[in-house]
Chains A and B, each alone.
Chain A
């Protein structure tokens, strides 16, 4: 439970830091709304011409987009800024101060910088989901809701593990901040359900870079279309992936020799 206390203290400190800049909060919040609109436009235009695309109707596709907007907000609002800071620490040699602290270093760095205005994305995503289910005509069943929540947690865990893996590379090759940007831009693919892709791409986005796991599966769960076996396999895969990422983090931190020495 000590770990939880560390996380809570860490969260409080980073939110307090971010809230000092109130003007930035307003500007960035407005921008988040603008970009959410930009994300919606192509989908609306596509479904102006078609009833369904790759087996998905408009409201179903909205559900996927809702998950995507929420996850993008989480990724770019918490994980990326924090881990970019780690890369900065590695470059300057100040990571030593983090490692000296009497708590797990991974916990300490994971939430060290937060952009709270990205929570507007999560709120917007909630609205998108509500609108989508209004179009569908009936709310999701309670069991489906639970399953979707579970899969959302595992989606965040996968994102987090990928970010930790990228940072582990920072210990070996210092200049990797744009590797994180590259991942952020690849993540844009997750706005479509995986059945949009065919052939090799479909396999890559399901197993190699598990984007299907992040938005398609939670959406299917919410729509009551995901069978339980896939869900269990997805969660088990996530846990395995997270364990591997943690292992690589530990190995690379052990090999870390600091920039200043």
Chain B
């Protein structure tokens, strides 16, 4: 444990240096996250003639800007890195290092967050300017936002890691993640706020893990929950985090037995 505490900051530094080295590519990747704005366009047009089920134009602007912000801050790409390294055999090098590969990748992904901030801060500024009155007035939900964002990032990372371990056995792990993304886009509130869905869809979406990846932090920013409800949701989110952490460990260990180190 103490060794890990010594090594992890170093891994973070290396990861940050890497993110800086590829800054142009990095920025272009971030700019291609524009789906919330595309969705904002249609809802803003729909709300021209008056609010849509409680959302005014500013309400939609607040929702989708917050969504964009959360998505920008909680990005991870470990599934693609895992599938590539497993296919090319470079995973063997990682296995030789004295730190669990998943921890190495998590450092890479976490270290990019300051770079993500460069794009996210202007978005946050626009959000404050355009839709200040729609944001939460309670300091408590802003306080909860930090563990909620960390939980959202962990969920996203761990799901990718679990699916990534399938690459140790099958070829199309990346396609599997693509399918997950398809469902997640709908059920996490990324494309449409969950409260605009019909009751049946919504009652399914609230129990699945997808919402904790995105719409929960967004709703905290918009002040949708009372303090008690917000705390309950945070506990539920972290319960999912622990569950996925366990799954990732099991999936990694059992997948590694199948790994035959191509080209290694």
Binding site for B on A (CB under 8 A): 23-24, 27-28, 30-31, 34-35, 37-38, 41-43, 45-46, 48-50, 53-54, 175, 178-179, 181-182, 184-186, 188-189, 191-192, 195-197, 201
Contact = CB atoms under 8 A, between A and B. Distances in A.
A38 B186 contact: yes
B18 interface: no
B95 interface: no
Interface residues of B, number: 33
A196 B42 contact: yes
Contacts of B41: 189, 192, 196-197, 201
A38 B25 contact: no
B38 A34 contact: no
Contacts of B49: 50
Interface of B: 24-25, 28-29, 31-35, 38-39, 41-43, 45-46, 48-49, 52-53, 171-172, 175, 178-179, 182, 185-186, 191-192, 196-198
B45 A42 contact: no
A24 B172 contact: yes
A179 B46 CA distance: 32
Contacts of A38: 182, 185-186, 191
B42 A41 contact: no
B52 A188 contact: no
Nearest to B39: A42
Contact of B38 (A28, A41, A46, A191): A191
Of A30, A41, A184, the most chain B CB neighbours within 10 A belong to A41
Contacts of A27: 172, 175
Contacts of A181: 28-29, 32
B46 A46 contact: yes
A42 B29 contact: no
A45 B192 contact: yes
Contact of B29 (A23, A24, A178, A191): A178
Contacts of B32: 178, 181-182, 184-186
A179 B32 CA distance: 9
B208 to A, nearest CB: 15
A24 B173 CA distance: 11
A46 B175 contact: no
A41 B191 CA distance: 9
A50 B52 CA distance: 8
27 contacts: A23-B172, A31-B175, A31-B182, A34-B179, A34-B182, A38-B182, A41-B191, A42-B39, A42-B191, A42-B192, A45-B192, A46-B43, A49-B52, A49-B53, A53-B45, A54-B45, A178-B32, A181-B32, A182-B28, A184-B32, A186-B34, A188-B34, A188-B38, A189-B41, A192-B42, A195-B45, A196-B42
A250 to B, nearest CB: 26
Contact of B46 (A34, A49, A182, A188): A49
Contacts of A54: 45, 48
A42 B194 CA distance: 11
B28 A31 contact: no
Nearest to B186: A41
B119 to A, nearest CB: 13
Contacts of B24: 175
Contacts of B46: 46, 49-50, 53
B88 to A, nearest CB: 16
A41 B186 CA distance: 8
A178 B179 contact: no
Contacts of A188: 34-35, 38
B179 A31 contact: yes
Nearest to A43: B42
Contacts of A182: 28, 31-32
A176 to B, nearest CB: 9
A17 B24 CA distance: 33
Given A41-B186, A49-B52, A196 B45 contact: yes
The list of the 5 closest CB pairs from A to B, nearest first, reads A185-B32, A54-B45, A196-B45, A34-B182, A178-B28
B42 A42 contact: yes
A48 B192 CA distance: 12
A181 B41 CA distance: 21
Contacts of A53: 42, 45-46
B58 to A, nearest CB: 15
Contacts of A35: 182
A161 B35 CA distance: 24
Nearest to A47: B46
A185 B34 contact: yes
B193 to A, nearest CB: 9
Contacts of B35: 185, 188
A175 B23 CA distance: 12
